[in-house]
Amino acid sequence: MEKEKAEDQINVEKKDESMEEEKIESELETKQENENKEEQTLEAKVSELEEKLVRLYAEMENQRRRYEKEREDAFEYGGFSLAKETLNLIDNLERSKITIEKDESIKNSDDLKKIINHLDIIYKDMMTILKKNNISPIDSVGKKLDPNLHQAMMEIEDENKDSGIIIQEIQKGFMMKNRLLRPSLVAVSKNVEKKEQNLRENKEKNDEKK
């Protein structure tokens, strides 16, 4: 009887030991799983942080490029508005010269010649200043109309020229480096022969329909 009790006691102890081992193994597995989860979470956080750093760097690089572009534009075209205002002075100078030349009271006089000479000197000096600042007049007369550079204000019939050729410059246009400062206001040719030919062709078509 005592032997059976002893054996039962041993079995109970063994069972307890087995349960204790299982508990320890379970705790170890749980701990390992938690550690793995923590590692995965840490890796995910590191990966997320790396992505944020990449985006931040890209944004900073874009801002740097924008700043560089704005700085270059400000350096190259900072005087754009001032240049446009300066062109008004040149226009007024040219208009004044034309008005004085038409003044009958001083026409063909020495005074007129002196005034015109002074105005020409001022005009040349202003054009030289513009050239030094990369501002140049647009070549217009005799050229084909270019909508990017010229603005047609009127058409003049001319049987000796093709349509769309600039034959008169109403207001001079200017470029600032590669940027249009203002377009040239021009008059373009309108070929009379082609116009008459078109009228004849249209008339013939209308006659055929009748």
Q: Are residues 182 and 209 in the same domain?
A: yes
Instruction: Report the alpha-carbon distance of residue 151 to residue 46 in Å, rounded.
Output: 61
Sheet hosting strand 135-137, strand order edge to edge? 135-137, 174-176, 179-182
What pLDDT score does 197 carry? 56
Domain end position, chosen among 97, 116, 133: 133
Q: Are residues 157 and 145 in the same domain?
A: yes
What pLDDT score does 71 carry? 66
The residues, any chain, with a CB within 8 Å of residue 77's CB and separated by 6 or more, are: 176, 177, 179
CB 156 within 8 A of CB 190: yes
* Global pTM exceeds 0.75: no
Q: Are residues 55 and 29 in the same domain?
A: yes
Print the domain residue range for 73.
1-77
Tell how far CA 153 is from the center of its chain. Answer: 28
What pLDDT score does 66 carry? 79
Q: Into how many domains does the chain fold?
A: 3
Q: Are residues 61 and 19 in the same domain?
A: yes
What pLDDT score does 178 carry? 85
What pLDDT score does 5 carry? 52
Instruction: Report the alpha-carbon distance of residue 183 to residue 89 in Å, rounded.
Output: 16
CB 144 within 8 A of CB 163: no
Q: Are residues 67 and 1 in the same domain?
A: yes
**Helix 110-132 and helix 80-101: axis angle, to 10°?**
160
* Per-residue model confidence as pLDDT tens for the chain (210 residues): 554 555 555 555 555 556 666 666 666 667 666 666 666 676 777 677 778 778 877 787 787 787 677 666 655 666 777 888 889 888 998 888 888 888 887 777 888 888 889 989 999 999 998 898 889 999 999 999 999 999 999 998 887 788 889 999 999 999 988 889 999 999 999 887 655 555 565 655 665 655
The encoded tokens of residue 200 equal 């004849």
Amino acid in position 53? L
